[in-house]
Structure 1
């Protein structure tokens, strides 16, 4: 009987060995494979694997800098004179003729919310005096001025309005001396939204507003929540993505990035900009970018490093999504070489990148053994119990 059990055990061992050899392909856990068969009979997906080298790092950094510069160049410009629009309130003084200023035409500019109907409108220059006599520009761009009557002002600068109004008054006033100013700015505004302390609308005035001033007018980006590297400027239906720290590091003066009427400045949350670290690391985790920057070294360090017992240090991959969902970009780093590993400190990751550390074949074999050994032990002891041993 003992010989029978021994023979059975040997046969069982041989059978399981064959099964284990076939099971290596189905070892538990993730693993990177260059050739991934697709579903529904589609061709095999073979993403191109690019080695991370010093020349590649230099190329990527140069392309990133050029892209930021191109975006900025499209937005930079000289400030233009303020053009009066519907809703603006003009202050018009005809010297030595106080009767031409009607006292009851006053505009209360101290109550910003009530005067504009906009929640969160931030007071700026021209909105500080409690009351100011003025002439409100109608929806069709006209004001009603004594003697002159219906007078068009929309679309013109203050200097142009002053010159034309003086000419129109010549018929009624001898050599009129006129001063035209702004009592309140109501026709043009920008909007700041997203992760700022006080989102809302802000008026544009005769003093050009830069993107930094707009963010400051919203009491700044919310610390620990907003991402300075992910600021969007929406203008005329087009979205510009701005990395403010990167532009500043390149010597760009953001004080000259002026905003235009109806521009939207949107600060995105840091949670939208994460990198995922998986595979044979000590802690699989999502790592946020800091001011739009995170290196491969920093991502691995945030996962408490690679697992020295299980990881294949020569198989570190960065998988990056592209416009084609079935053909991602794949970058490979041989981390077993100290020289190659130093490149990880200069390889910048992008939001939604996946850093994956693969495992060697022996680790997969060990995992299969771990799953199947309890089953073989159960079969053996069950057979032995049935034999009365």
Structure 2
């Protein structure tokens, strides 16, 4: 064996002895994968749950699908709805057959300009009867109060009361809607869906699955997807004064597609959701020359995963870092399973490299060294012959 062959043999042997650590690029290897961190050794295999993607696993991991439902509780609230007067409202009070007690609006004054302003203490002033507490009352209660007190001065007074301007109570729509801002609470019931529509509807980057309704310091999760796409009316709410509807951006609705695919990239989950097959299709599919078709993985951080994901493991949940789902697409028909597997925000879709691809990477790194050895040896032979 000449000198160059000995050098090449030594280099290859040393690489083989060193093992997989010299293989360039990343690779997901599930068994016997260990790390050392902060001098505390632990086995990654004990920190993750691994599930082969089978029909049964997909059924267990699937979130309950929203469906069309009625909302009897909301219907009852709407049927019994009444507006309660508050400070800042303007009342229009009419005493029939007694124009001297009814402030005329005139040709150039609206009812809101000529009406009775409700003061900060919830009262108004009215001729003959003086101060009347109207705050927190309905127009029917105010009408009865004024009629009762005017009866001491007018025989059988005919009183009509209505709200000329609703200014005391508001709900707010913030976030990714076309015209965020306040929505007045009036004598016409205002629902969450009404408020969204009045705000111009959802903006392009809205996350309509994770809308929140803040009421008296507490938050209620709302799915506009279930309400608007699936007809689940239980997601609708009757709004009350001070309610805040917030529609977040879909910045958190992202998944990462990495490894042996044709165009690794970050993908945004759209309003209809995203399946594993859709994610692979969006990046051009797997690299048919480099990918291991048995090694299509979905890595899901259990702390970020949404509720409803399967947790069938003997390891305590607080010790688990991630759930890993493995799809074998050696038979392309298995991609049908991928169409049923819904991705969650911050999922990592990783396609591992085939063993031959990893070996080829080693050889590609060796070629410059081998070429250099050959040139060095040939130069030495020429010098000797000379």
Check whether TM > 0.5: yes
**Match for residue 330 of structure 2 among 328, 333, 336:** 336
Q: 1:107 to 1:252 in 2, by over 3 A?
A: farther
Matched residue, 2:353: 359
How far apart are the structure 1 equivalents of 2:235 and 2:382? Answer: 90
Matched residue, 1:166: 147
Count of residue correspondences: 360
**Match for residue 129 of structure 2 among 148, 170, 173:** 148
How far apart are the structure 2 equivalents of 1:107 and 1:364? Answer: 85
How far apart are the structure 2 equivalents of 1:255 and 1:88? Answer: 31
How far apart are the structure 2 equivalents of 1:188 and 1:325? Answer: 49
Q: In the TM superposition, what whole-angstrom CA distance separates every residue of 1:91-128 from its partner, at most 9, and x where no partner exists?
A: 111222222233589998xxxxxxxxxxxxxxxxxxxx
**Match for residue 219 of structure 2 among 239, 242, 249:** 239
Q: Which runs of 4+ in 1 moved over 6 A?
A: 72-77, 104-108
Larger displacement relative to structure 2 (241-250 or 73-82)? 73-82
Q: 1:342 to 1:73 in 2, by over 3 A?
A: farther
**Match for residue 37 of structure 1 among 15, 20, 35:** 35
Matched residue, 2:263: 283
Q: 1:91 to 1:337 in 2, by over 3 A?
A: same
Larger displacement relative to structure 2 (326-335 or 177-186)? 326-335
What is the CA RMSD across the aligned residues, in angstroms?
3.1
Q: 1:74 to 1:272 in 2, by over 3 A?
A: farther
Q: In the TM superposition, what whole-angstrom CA distance separates every residue of 1:267-290 from its partner, at most 9, and x where no partner exists?
A: 233443222211111101222222
Q: Give structure 2 stretches of 5+ with no counterpart.
A: 304-317
Matched residue, 2:15: 20
Q: How far did residue 61 of structure 1 move? A: 3.1
TM-score w.r.t. structure 1 length? 0.82
Q: Determine if contact 1:133/1:183 at 8 Å carries over to the other structure.
A: no
Larger displacement relative to structure 2 (363-372 or 291-300)? 363-372
Q: In the TM superposition, what whole-angstrom CA distance separates every residue of 1:307-354 from its partner, at most 9, and x where no partner exists?
A: 111111111111122327970222111122345321101111122211
- Secondary structure, in 3 states, of the residue corresponding to 2:62? helix
Q: 1:107 to 1:195 in 2, by over 3 A?
A: farther
Q: 1:278 to 1:159 in 2, by over 3 A?
A: same
- Secondary structure, in 3 states, of the residue corresponding to 1:352? coil
Q: How far did residue 378 of structure 1 move? A: 1.8
Q: How far did residue 250 of structure 1 move? A: 4.0
Q: 1:213 to 1:298 in 2, by over 3 A?
A: same
Larger displacement relative to structure 2 (16-25 or 228-237)? 228-237
How far apart are the structure 1 equivalents of 2:190 and 2:118? Answer: 23
Q: Determine if contact 1:77/1:256 at 8 Å carries over to the other structure.
A: no
Q: Determine if contact 1:321/1:328 at 8 Å carries over to the other structure.
A: yes
Q: Determine if contact 1:95/1:178 at 8 Å carries over to the other structure.
A: yes
TM-score w.r.t. structure 2 length? 0.83
